[in-house]
Structure formats: structure tokens, C-alpha cells
Amino acid sequence: MSIIKEVKGVLHLEEVALPAVAEKFATPCYVYSRAAITANWQAFSEQLFNENSEAPHKVCFAVKANSNLAVLQVLAELGAGFDVVSGGEIARVLRAGGEPANIVFSGVAKSDAEIRYALTQDIGQFNVESDAELERISEIASAMNTTARISLRVNPDVDAKTHPYIATGLEDNKFGIPMQNALTTYQRAAVLPGIEIVGADCHIGSQLTELEPFLAALERMLALVDTLEENGITLRHIDMGGGLGVTYTDEQPPQVAEYIQAMLKRLQDYPHLALYLEPGRAIVANAGVLLTRVEYLKFNGHKHFIMVDAGMNDLLRPALYQAHHNIVNVETNSSTAAITGDVVGPVCETGDFLGQNRTLKVRSGDLLAVKSAGAYGFTMSSNYNTRPKPAEVMIDGAQMHLVRARETLEDVWRGETLIPSTSLK
């Protein structure tokens, strides 16, 4: 859904004018729409939840996309499941009111402490990514006199046709168990103590804008389901991960209904098999913006620079992935002359930019909104250059809720200590 609207030349998120957010909470500042998060999640849940289905399908939000407690709370209250990749994310979900049974624990290097914590909380399942991890979970579960429900994350070797840093389904990637080894690993899991096999999992990448890679992966996973059945191993669900793309600029990803119905149609021959999905970006990316204020304009005789108070430590995606975020004036009826230049931040790196070759009507002090910033924005932020992390605000109708306070300098170095002084004599 479109969360930004213009009212008398001023951009609003739901019913709140964005300048009012900046005035109250300063900049840089992440701002999220509860209504957009809700609508985006319901687009998935309405397609998957069917009273007549034999198998209970499930939508698990990928917490790594946005782990703010208030965001997780909104989703938990909607009945969402959660895909986590660390013990810390498990703790966040539980703190936000999520149900342990609705947690799916992914990740390639789960520690002993994380496995024990997950078993203590009785989470829904582990997505196991290697034979070594399977053996370790069995050992720990047996020692704890409990049972770990597991799916194996299988690598289907499907080209997701996305940025190489966010492609995860090829043989060159670190994720998952090779398809050719999957049967042997499942047979090992079937005889290990402390292990209960419940499903199969795959995730081929992120920001996918075509259906074909999803369906190709599904075909390979269903072939595995058939092979397992022939060998006496029956699964309860198949987890096709996340990865559905969103529109940042002019991308045209499949609609949620088209994406889900295409998979459900193929699963008609498997009525006992539930479909799990793990959307993250598709739920929150376009439910948030990053507000930033122009500090200076600079022209070096060759190029214009629009210098703002948000940097790559606040929003890393442009520098890391060459990602494009639309950047717009919050107050749209400016009479200032337009300039074309790079929108850059204060971090001491040439790669510190939010956008390149952008045309904007700006002057010092103007407020800008970086759109589509709700996913992999704050969660990838850092304190590089000793910069405090920004505030996060949730808009709910006409209400503004501060859901994370801006860090202070004391917050930044909390946990650090000085060593005893010495003096030369």
C-alpha cells in the first residue's frame, strides 16, 4: 500500500505531517506506518489462511528485516509467525509477545548456547543448514532430555537473478545442504536421538522480481518430498522462504496473490503439505521512511553535493548493495531552483551516499524523506564514526509513538572502559 500522501504541499505518513515528526524527534529518524505493516502482512495471510485447507499454512516474518520491538508487537498481535537467525532475535520476538511455537530458527552457525536457549523456549522448529549442525542439535537435545523439531534447509541451486550479496540458493553460497546430499542427511536425521523431522526448507534469495525462480525451486523441493516419501520419511510442511521483491523505483514484482496462488496451485497434489513463507522486505520495506535534513550544499566546479545529516551508518544499503531509494522533498512546493547531484552523508568515506545523480529542489535546512527504508535500514545501522543511532517512530493514525529513543554518546560507549593511567618518569 502507498503510505505517503501529500496534503497541501506537505508529505504525511498516515495522518501525521512528517515535519511534525522531525520537529519532535529530530533527524535522522526512521518512521514506520502501523497501517502499512498490517496491510502488507494481511496480503500474505489472507491468501494462505484457508479454513478448508487440510494443512495449516503459515506466514513467518523475517525478523532480520526490521527487529524493532513495536514492529514485532504489531505482527505478533496479528498472529504472525517469525523467522529468526539468532538467539537475540528469539528473545526479541518473545519480548514483543510472539509465541514460541511460531518461531522458525534459521542461520548457518547456531552456537551451543543459542541451541540450548531455543530448546528451553520450545520454539516451533530449527531450519538445519548442515550435517554438523544436525549432529550438534541432536547431542544437545538428547542431553536436555527433549526433542528438537527440525526441517533441513536444502539448497536447490536455483539462480534467483538478484544482487549476488543477497542470492542464497546457489551451490557457491554458504547456505543450506546440497540437494544431492539431502536424502542421506534426512535418513541420518530419522535415526538420530532427540530429533523429530517436520519439514523441508529452502530460501533462494532476496528482492526477487520474477515468479520463475520461486516455481523452479518449488519443483525441485517437491521432487525431494516425493523421494523422501518413497524412503519412508513423510513431511508436514514445505518452507519456501521469503524473497519476494518490492518496488523501490520501477521494479514490477509479482503481486502477493499471484505469487502465493501459483505455489498453492502446484501444491494441490500435496493436500497434506502445509506451505510456510518467510517474507520480510515485502512486509516492512515500503512501510517506512528515513527522515534526514540538508546541512550544506556544495559545488566543486564539477559536481553538486547535497550534504545531509544521515549517513551510511544509518542506511547502509546504497553503499553495500548499490541499492536505489527514492529521495523526495517533504515540503513539495519549494520555489528553490532544482539541482542534480549526489545526496551524501557526514561519514568519512567516499562510499557514504544515500543517492547519486538525484534532482531535487533543496536548500540548507530542508527536510528530505528517503523512501522504502523500513527493511534493512535500522537493523543494519552502526555507530561508525561514533555516530549515535537514530530514533525510530511508529505512526498509528494520528498518533506518533517513539519506539526507540535516539542514542546518546554515553549509549555509544556504554560497556567500554578506560585502562589505568601510566606516567613516564
Q: In terms of domains, do 45 and 181 share one?
A: yes
For residue 171, the model assigns a pLDDT of 57
Q: In terms of domains, do 26 and 174 share one?
A: no
Looking at 15-127, list the stretches that DSSP marks H as alpha helix, in order from N- to C-terminal side. Answer: 18-25, 34-48, 69-77, 87-95, 112-121
314 is a domain residue: yes
Q: In terms of domains, do 213 and 278 share one?
A: yes
Q: Please give the C-alpha separations between residue 423 and each of 182, 416, 417, 418, 419, in angstroms, as whole numbers.
A: 63, 22, 19, 15, 13
The residue type at 129: E
Q: In terms of domains, do 268 and 370 share one?
A: no
Say which CATH number the domain at 334 has: 2.40.37.10
275 is a domain residue: yes
385 is a domain residue: yes
Q: In terms of domains, do 275 and 355 share one?
A: no
Q: In terms of domains, do 235 and 380 share one?
A: no
As for how many domains the chain has, the answer is 2
The residue type at 25: F
Average pLDDT over residues 133-159: 94
Q: In terms of domains, do 247 and 384 share one?
A: no
List residues forming the annotated binding site for substrate.
281, 317, 321, 349, 376
Q: Active-site positions? A: 348
Is the pTM of the predicted complex or chain greater than 0.75? yes
pLDDT digit string (tens) for 294-351? 999 999 999 999 999 999 999 999 999 899 999 999 998 878 889 999 999 999 999 9
Q: In terms of domains, do 162 and 98 share one?
A: yes
List residues forming the annotated binding site for pyridoxal 5'-phosphate.
243, 278-281, 376
| 425 exposure class (CB count in 10 Å sphere: 0-12, 13-18, 19+) | exposed
pLDDT digit string (tens) for 215-241? 999 999 999 999 999 999 999 999 999
Q: Among 282, 314, 332, where does a domain finish?
A: 282
Q: Among 259, 282, 305, where does a domain finish?
A: 282
Residue 425 has pLDDT above 80, yes or no: no
Q: How confident is the model at residue 253 (pLDDT cuts 50, 70, 90)?
A: confident
List residues forming the annotated binding site.
243, 278-281, 317, 321, 349, 376
Could you tell me which of 354, 327, 331 has the C-alpha nearest to residue 343? 354
421 is a domain residue: no
Q: Among 241, 258, 282, where does a domain finish?
A: 282
Could you tell me which of 311, 312, 310, 306 has the C-alpha nearest to residue 364? 306
For the stretch 123-129, contacts whose Cβ atoms lie closer than 8 Å and that sit 24 or more positions apart, written own/partner, are 123/90, 124/81, 124/100, 124/149, 125/149, 125/150, 125/151, 125/198, 125/199, 126/150, 126/151, 127/151, 127/152, 127/153, 127/201, 127/239, 128/152, 128/153, 128/177, 128/189, 129/153, 129/175, 129/176, 129/177
Question: What is the domain range of residue 190?
Answer: 34-282
